[in-house]
Amino acid sequence: MTAETETPGSTTTVYQVSGMSCGHCEGSVSSEIAEIAGVSSVKAVASTGEVTVVSAAPLDDEAVRAAVDEAGFELAGRA
């Protein structure tokens, strides 16, 4: 299942991240993904494991995986 929508000038993608359990986890994941070029917004929700990313263009999944790994969590895929 891929939750990716494109609007003029932006793409929204929802990823599934395992291991988040609190607000600190959400912040860690969000800050790492926000460093990827082209990302304009990141919202992580620990209770669902979903991370919604708005970017100028579709992101490389490996770049997102590397950012999530750097935060200490695991990218399970797209929601």
Instruction: Give the type of residue at 43.
Output: K
Total Cβ atoms within 10 A of residue 7: 8
Sign of CA dihedral 23, 25, 31, 37: negative
Write the pLDDT tens digit of every residue in 25-64: 999 999 999 999 999 999 999 999 999 999 999 999 999 9
Name the band, by pLDDT with cuts 50, 70 and 90, for residue 2: very low
Residue 75, phi-psi category: left (phi > 0), alpha (psi -120 to 50), beta (remainder) = beta
Total Cβ atoms within 10 A of residue 36: 16
CATH class held by domain 4-78: alpha beta
Tokens standing for residue 53: 């990313």
Where along the chain do its domains lie? 4-78
Give the pLDDT confidence score for residue 1 in this predicted structure.
34
Tokens standing for residue 19: 């291991």
pTM: 0.89
